[in-house]
Structure 1
């Protein structure tokens, strides 16, 4: 074979080798993508969403298998109905274990049965307003801000030990009226603010999603008066619960990307 033909032959072989290598790499990448997507999808299928809290979360839910009423008629219902209707193929399950009148201690007492045994993948907690009220009325140390934080950490440690990959959603409690002027704050607002700071700190410490419900209502006051959103300083109206649902979905969708359709 003449030298010039030999050089062309070798050059063509080299080009074929490079092309083959690139093709093989692309195949590996392409083969890997569905696997990763499938893994991602599997993590976003069959998820158990569990909501814990007090009467605001409870929403007058039933305590039986009545699928029409066991999520209550508050923000949990709004979240579950909306997400469930939009993603039926994901086989998502929504459990409401809010308990009217509960404080952090009551929630801790029922933690094993109501939370751990349900094995949630996404756990949303809003607790604190009753702790504030109980402390202001009885001054029990078990309802102090320090005890609140210690018990909160204990239940979070338990659920993280049970499921290290759990998605935690920590929602701050809230109250109206709300003022930024310390001299005008009610005793309830002052105590609630201390517990809001605790929840913010816990969200950082436990790599949890933080949901700023107080900010939502503060901004809502620019559009309508207090009683339109929260009728008794504590419990939201129907419109108020919708604000909670919207903010919850907005915050949680940053972690669970498929929920962005809802925002």
Structure 2
């Protein structure tokens, strides 16, 4: 049962506790073939509305990556290394759950043949759980389907690098008065992602911790306007953390991290 006495003041403390449980193996300690590669890489960003970023649905290169964290990541990397033939794809779709991803995985992931797959999913699964939707997944099924998707990628490319983001929710906007309902199931799914990241030797991006630390500099509303969707400033924080963590596996990104 969710503790009804939870307050906004506990947010940083709880996020910090969550960070402490991240397995050391997730810290990108194992060598991979991708660690030394810096050319001809295909980066694919998958997920829900946070990744979608209102991206274009045609070939217009001005809008194809949306206006979220993946746009910021791609713009920085692509502008810095125009000679390395790096390609970036955004296939996030607003409202998607893990089931939705599974239904379009072949076309929107496997057929793209990414070398680096960045995935952020789970908050819409929380929404389905809270609102008792017929198609909602329980925690066990969420984990099974998540693992199934990553396994299918390894069957295609055993050297694929996974970048897994933890789902997050904060007490702002429309989520402020409902945070007691949202907090625990979000944390539960984040713990599942941590376990999967360890087993798949993935880069783990702890977005909850990023925003907990950001709260020390500005109110949460400055970073996430409705409890789920980041502002432009929040997306930039996500992009910076993404590059920081991924640079531990793709060392050519290190200069970008140092310049931030």
Match of 2:219 in 1: 225
Equivalence for 1:7: none
Q: For 2:80 and 2:238, how far apart are their aligned partners in 1?
A: 19
Structure 1 position 254 matched with structure 2 position 248? yes
Does residue 70 of structure 1 match 2:54? no
Greater length-normalized contact order (CA 8 Å, ≥ 6 residues apart): 2
Q: 2:50 aligned with 1:51, yes or no? A: no
Q: CA deviation at 1:43?
A: 2.9
Structure 2 residue ranges without an equivalent (≥5): 1-32, 173-177
Which secondary structure does the structure 2 equivalent of 1:234 belong to?
Answer: coil
Q: Taking structure 1 as reference, are residues 214 and 42 closer, same or farther at Cα in structure 2, changes over 3 Å only?
A: closer
Determine if contact 2:164/2:202 at 8 Å carries over to the other structure.
yes
CA contact (8 A) 1:48 1:92 kept: yes
Deviation at 1:52, TM superposition (A): 0.2
Q: Decide which of 115, 124, 129 is 2:109's aligned counterpart.
A: 115
- Please give the root-mean-square deviation of Cα atoms over the aligned residues, in Å: 1.8
Query: SS of the counterpart of 1:199?
Result: helix
Task: Note the alpha carbon deviations across 1:27-71, whole angstroms, 9 max, x for none.
Answer: xxxxxxxxxxxx989832110000000000000000111111100
SS of aligned partner of 1:169: strand
d(CA) in 2 for partners of 1:120 and 1:143? 27
Structure 2 residue 173 is matched with structure 1 residue 173? no
- Distance in 1 (alpha carbons) for counterparts of 2:38 and 2:155: 21
Q: Aligned pair in 2 of structure 1 residues 40, 195: CA closer, same or farther (>3 Å)? A: closer
Contact 1:142–1:148 (CA under 8 A) maintained in structure 2: no
**Unaligned stretches of 5+ in structure 1?**
1-38, 179-183
- 2:34–2:250 Cα contact (<8 Å) kept: no
Q: Which has the higher helix share?
A: 1
Tell me how far 1:73 sits from its aligned partner.
0.3
Aligned equivalent of 1:154: 148
Which of structures 1 and 2 has the bigger CA Rg?
Answer: 1
CA displacement 1:82-126 (0-9 Å, x = unmatched): 000001111100000000110100011000000000000000000
CA distance in 2, matches of 1:53, 1:250: 20
Given the alignment of the two structures, is residue 164 of structure 1 paired with residue 167 of structure 2, yes or no? Answer: no
Q: Please state whether the residue corresponding to 1:218 is helix, strand or coil.
A: helix
Contact 2:210 2:237 survives alignment (8 Å):
yes
Q: Distance in 2 between matches of 1:214 and 1:142?
A: 23
Q: CA offset at residue 144 of structure 1?
A: 1.4
Deviation of the 1:138 alpha carbon = 1.5
Residue 206 of structure 2 is aligned to residue 244 of structure 1: no
User: Do the aligned partners of 1:141 and 1:147 also contact (CA within 8 Å) in 2?
Assistant: no
Q: Which residue of 1 aligns with 2:55?
A: 61
Task: List structure 1 segments (4+ residues) > 2 angstroms apart after TM superposition.
Answer: 39-43, 139-142
Say which SS state the counterpart of residue 83 (structure 2) adopts.
helix
1:212 Cα shift?
A: 0.4
- TM-score (normalised: structure 2): 0.81
Q: Does 1:138 align with 2:125?
A: no
2:128/2:135 contact within 8 Å kept = no
Q: Is the 8 A contact 1:56 1:100 kept in 2?
A: yes
Structure 2 residue 53 is matched with structure 1 residue 89:
no
Find the aligned partners of 1:132 and 1:44 in 2 and give their Cα distance.
37
Q: What is the number of residues matched between the two proteins?
A: 220
- What secondary structure sits across from 1:49 in the alignment? strand
